[in-house]
A and B are shown apart, each in its own frame.
Chain A
Amino acid sequence: MRYEGEHLLIGQIGHFFTLLSFVSAILATYAYIRSARALDMTDGERWRKLGRIAFSIQVFSIISIFVTLYLVIYNHYFEYKYAHQHSKRSLDVEYLLSCFWEGQEGSFMLWTFWQGILGMVVMRTAKKFEAPAMTIISLAQVFLASFIIGVYFFDIRIGTGPFVLMRNEFPDAPIFQDPNYLFKYLTDGNGLNILLQNYWMVIHPPVLFLGFASALVPFSFAIAGLWKNDHKGWIKHGLPWALFSAGILGLGIMMGAAWAYESLTFGGYWAWDPVENASMVPWMLMVAGIHTMLIFKHTGHSMKATYFFIPLAYFLVLYSTFLTRTGILGDTSVHSFTGEGDTLYWHLILMMLTFISITTVLYIRNRKEIPDIRKEESMNSREFWMFVGSLLMFVSAGYIIALTSLPFINKLIDTKWAIGQDVEYVYNRVMILVTVVIALLTAITQYFKYKETTRKYFWSNLLVPTLVTILISSLISIFGGIDYDKYGIGFLAAIHVALWASVYTVISNGTYIFKVMKGNMKAAGASISHVGFGLMLIGILISSSKKELVSVNNTGINVAGLKDVKGKEENPLENVTLINGVPTQMGKYTVTYVGDSAVKKNDRVYFKINFTERDTTGRRDVESFDIYPNAFLVKGEEGMNLSSNPGARHYLSNDIFVYITSWLNPDKVTDTASFRNYWVKKGDTVFYSNGFLTVNDIVMANKNDNKDLPVVDSAWLSDLMVVSKDGRSYPSQPAYFVKNSQPSVKTDTVFTQNLVLNINRVSGDKIELGLKESGAVMRYITLKAYKFPYINVLWLGTIIMVIGFLVSMVRRLKV
Chain B
Amino acid sequence: MKKLHIVILVVIALSIAGLLTLTKDITTYDSIASAKKKEGRYVHLIAKLDRSRPVEYDPVKDPNFLSFYAIDSLGYKTQVVYRNSKPTELEHSDRVVLKGQMKGDVFECKEILLKCPSKYKDDPTQQMKKLENTAVTTSSQN
Residues of A within 8 A of B (CB): 85-86, 102-104, 166, 169-170, 172-175, 184-186, 190, 193, 330-332, 334, 338-340, 376-377, 379, 384, 387-388, 391-392, 395, 398-399, 403, 415-422, 426, 430, 553, 556, 573-577, 579, 634, 636-639, 641-644, 661-662, 664, 749, 751, 778, 780, 782, 784
**B132 A174 Cβ-Cβ under 8 A:** yes
**A384-B4, A637-B117 in contact; A419/B26 too (CB < 8 A)?**
yes
**B15 A577 Cβ-Cβ under 8 A:** no
Q: Would you list the 9 A-B pairs with minimal beta carbon distance, nearest first?
A: A573-B64, A661-B85, A575-B63, A338-B122, A420-B27, A782-B59, A642-B88, A416-B29, A173-B131
**B110 A338 Cβ-Cβ under 8 A:** no
**A421-B25, A661-B63 in contact; A573/B131 too (CB < 8 A)?**
no
**A641 B92 Cβ-Cβ under 8 A:** yes
Q: B123 to chain A: which residues have CB within 8 Å?
A: 338-339
**A418 B27 Cβ-Cβ under 8 A:** yes
B57 to chain A, nearest CB (A): 8
**A170-B128, A376-B4 in contact; A575/B89 too (CB < 8 A)?**
no
**A418 B28 Cβ-Cβ under 8 A:** yes
Q: A751 to chain B: which residues have CB within 8 Å?
A: 60-61
A556: contacting residue among B62, B88, B138, CB under 8 A: B62
B2 to chain A, nearest CB (A): 5
Q: A186 to chain B: which residues have CB within 8 Å?
A: 134
**B4 A638 Cβ-Cβ under 8 A:** no
Q: Which residue of B lies closest to A662 (CB)?
A: B59
**A184-B138, A185-B138, A418-B27 in contact; A577/B60 too (CB < 8 A)?**
yes
A sample of 11 cross-chain residue pairs with beta-carbon separation below 8 angstroms, ordered by A number, consists of A85-B121, A175-B135, A331-B97, A331-B115, A339-B122, A421-B27, A573-B84, A577-B60, A637-B117, A638-B92, A661-B63
Q: Which residue of A lies closest to B15 (CB)?
A: A395
**B134 A175 Cβ-Cβ under 8 A:** yes
**A636 B4 Cβ-Cβ under 8 A:** no
Q: B115 to chain A: which residues have CB within 8 Å?
A: 330-331
The prevalent SS among residues of B at the interface is: mixed
A104 to chain B, nearest CB (A): 6
Q: B59 to chain A: which residues have CB within 8 Å?
A: 575, 577, 662, 664, 780, 782
Tell me which of B11, B26, B63, B121 has the highest count of chain A C-beta atoms within 10 A of its own C-beta.
B63
A184 to B131, CA, bound (A): 13
Q: B99 to chain A: which residues have CB within 8 Å?
A: 421
Q: How large is the interface on B (under 10, 10 to 19, 20 to 34, 35 or more residues)?
A: 35 or more
**A331-B113, A662-B88 in contact; A419/B25 too (CB < 8 A)?**
yes
A420: contacting residue among B25, B92, B124, CB under 8 A: B25
Q: B44 to chain A: which residues have CB within 8 Å?
A: 331, 418
**A173 B88 Cβ-Cβ under 8 A:** no
Q: B124 to chain A: which residues have CB within 8 Å?
A: 169-170
A376 to B124, CA, bound (A): 59
A391 to B5, CA, bound (A): 12
**B26 A173 Cβ-Cβ under 8 A:** no
**A643 B88 Cβ-Cβ under 8 A:** yes
B20 on interface, CB distance cutoff 8 Å: no
B121: contacting residue among A86, A576, A638, CB under 8 A: A86
Q: Which residue of B lies closest to A576 (CB)?
A: B63
A228 to B118, CA, bound (A): 51
B133 to chain A, nearest CB (A): 8
**A575-B64, A577-B63 in contact; A416/B28 too (CB < 8 A)?**
yes
The prevalent SS among residues of A at the interface is: mixed
**B11 A782 Cβ-Cβ under 8 A:** no
B74 on interface, CB distance cutoff 8 Å: no
Q: A340 to chain B: which residues have CB within 8 Å?
A: 122
Q: B91 to chain A: which residues have CB within 8 Å?
A: 638-639
Q: Which residue of B lies closest to A394 (CB)?
A: B11
Q: A418 to chain B: which residues have CB within 8 Å?
A: 26-29, 44
A644 to B63, CA, bound (A): 16
Q: B43-59 toward A: CB 8 Å interface, digit per residue (1/0)?
A: 01010000000000101
**A784 B121 Cβ-Cβ under 8 A:** no
A398 to B15, CA, bound (A): 10
**A430 B132 Cβ-Cβ under 8 A:** no
A184 to B62, CA, bound (A): 46
**B122 A85 Cβ-Cβ under 8 A:** yes
**B15 A399 Cβ-Cβ under 8 A:** yes
Q: B103-124 toward A: CB 8 Å interface, digit per residue (1/0)?
A: 0000000100101011111111
**B28 A175 Cβ-Cβ under 8 A:** no
**A636 B92 Cβ-Cβ under 8 A:** yes
Q: A172 to chain B: which residues have CB within 8 Å?
A: 128
Q: A379 to chain B: which residues have CB within 8 Å?
A: 3
Q: B29 to chain A: which residues have CB within 8 Å?
A: 331, 416, 418
Tell me which of B59, B84, B99 has the highest count of chain A C-beta atoms within 10 A of its own C-beta.
B59
**A175-B131, A330-B115, A417-B28 in contact; A430/B46 too (CB < 8 A)?**
no
**A85-B121, A387-B4, A426-B25 in contact; A574/B131 too (CB < 8 A)?**
no
A778 to B60, CA, bound (A): 10
B124 to chain A, nearest CB (A): 8
**B60 A575 Cβ-Cβ under 8 A:** no
B83 on interface, CB distance cutoff 8 Å: yes
**A782 B135 Cβ-Cβ under 8 A:** no
**A421 B128 Cβ-Cβ under 8 A:** no
Q: A85 to chain B: which residues have CB within 8 Å?
A: 121-122, 127
**B18 A174 Cβ-Cβ under 8 A:** no
A576 to B61, CA, bound (A): 10
B73 to chain A, nearest CB (A): 14
Q: A193 to chain B: which residues have CB within 8 Å?
A: 119, 121
Q: B131 to chain A: which residues have CB within 8 Å?
A: 166, 170, 173, 175
A639 to B124, CA, bound (A): 22
Q: B46 to chain A: which residues have CB within 8 Å?
A: 331
B42 on interface, CB distance cutoff 8 Å: yes
Q: Which residue of B lies closest to A418 (CB)?
A: B44
B127: contacting residue among A170, A387, A573, CB under 8 A: A170
**A636 B89 Cβ-Cβ under 8 A:** yes
